[in-house]
Copies of this chain bind each other. A is one copy, B any other.
């Protein structure tokens, strides 16, 4: 048994001849090591938990794809769990990963922002630490006051600032912000970037144009429709993400408002096909795949447990934005 174990571990002490005999027998018997027992032995599990709100859209797929790419290099296995925004499910998922003695748990996507979440995160971190599992935030910046949690994120706030500055530079002033959800890290950062742009330009944002519905598409669409009907004047719309921008497009189409002639529109994420819409959508490209890859690399045992990698974004100017007509 010990020799077999050594052959499996590629321990060089075994003699060539012996190894060959063992390997022949393994093939003969269709033998495979029991990975579960290996992990149990303290070699550490191969599992990596990928916790996400929902598996939706190319942003998720790209991110997961990147992680898988990194994980597969080290023969790790990526396990995906969805939380549907339910804290109980999230806790249950953390539990499951703890049972599996996962190498790491990736918390993917936006999180709440309140102090309640900070405590929750600490609990997760400590709870996972007891079995040697580390916690990594993905697509969400490091949380102040919670060391020992690595993070890989992108210039969310700056991205939205760039998008907004683009509109301001085109002469727009009455700009709608669509999708300002509170207590939602991504939405908050993007709104902050929006406000940054106004502040830097010395322009006052119009409070009533900040649509504080939610990050979800349906309510945002309704709210925008309402706004259009209310006849409150505006000349441009910043959508918190591409899906909302597409909904905005539908609203404008239904009201026979031309984009960009009647109103300019920018999105965020650069999802698949938004460049093929009419008009093609000006948006902010986020390197989701690379984000995943970086996260995948943090799985390595010798990675800095306090790493905080920030990736750049890029404003992609297409046809949905045009200079303000006087």
Residue numbers of A with Cβ under 8 A of B are 30, 32-40, 45-47, 54-58, 60-61, 64-65, 68-69, 72, 75, 77-82, 95-96, 98-101, 127, 130-131, 246, 249-250, 271-274, 276-278
Contacts and interface: CB of A to CB of B under 8 A. Distances in A.
B57 A60 contact: no
A111 to B, nearest CB: 20
Nearest to A99: B35
B273 A100 contact: no
A292 B121 CA distance: 31
A28 B224 CA distance: 51
B75 A65 contact: no
Contacts of A64: 55, 80
Central interface residue in A30, A56, A57, A100, by most chain B CB within 10 Å: A100
Contact of A96 (B56, B77, B249, B274): B77
Given A32-B98, A34-B101, A55-B64, 17 more contacts: A32-B95, A32-B99, A35-B100, A36-B37, A38-B99, A56-B61, A56-B65, A57-B61, A58-B58, A64-B80, A68-B82, A75-B96, A78-B80, A271-B272, A272-B273, A273-B273, A273-B277
Contact of A274 (B47, B56, B81, B273): B273
Q: Nearest 7 CB-CB pairs, A to B?
A: A35-B99, A278-B278, A55-B65, A273-B273, A36-B40, A36-B36, A77-B79
B81 A77 contact: yes
Contacts of A96: 35, 75, 77
Contacts of A78: 79-81
Contacts of A131: 32
Looking at chain A's contact residues, the main secondary structure is mixed
A95 B273 CA distance: 37
Given A68-B80, A246-B276, A37 B40 contact: yes
Copies in the complex: 2
B82 A72 contact: yes
A78 B77 CA distance: 10
Nearest to A41: B36
Contact of A68 (B30, B55, B58, B98): B55
A49 to B, nearest CB: 9
B272 A57 contact: yes
Contacts of A61: 55-58, 60-61
Contacts of A130: 30
12 contacts: A35-B96, A35-B99, A36-B40, A46-B100, A57-B58, A60-B61, A61-B61, A68-B80, A80-B80, A246-B273, A272-B273, A278-B278
Contact of A33 (B35, B38, B69, B99): B99
Contacts of A37: 36, 40
A59 B36 CA distance: 32
Contacts of A55: 61, 64-65, 68
A34 B99 contact: yes
Contact of A273 (B45, B69, B271): B271
Nearest to A31: B130
A57 B64 CA distance: 12
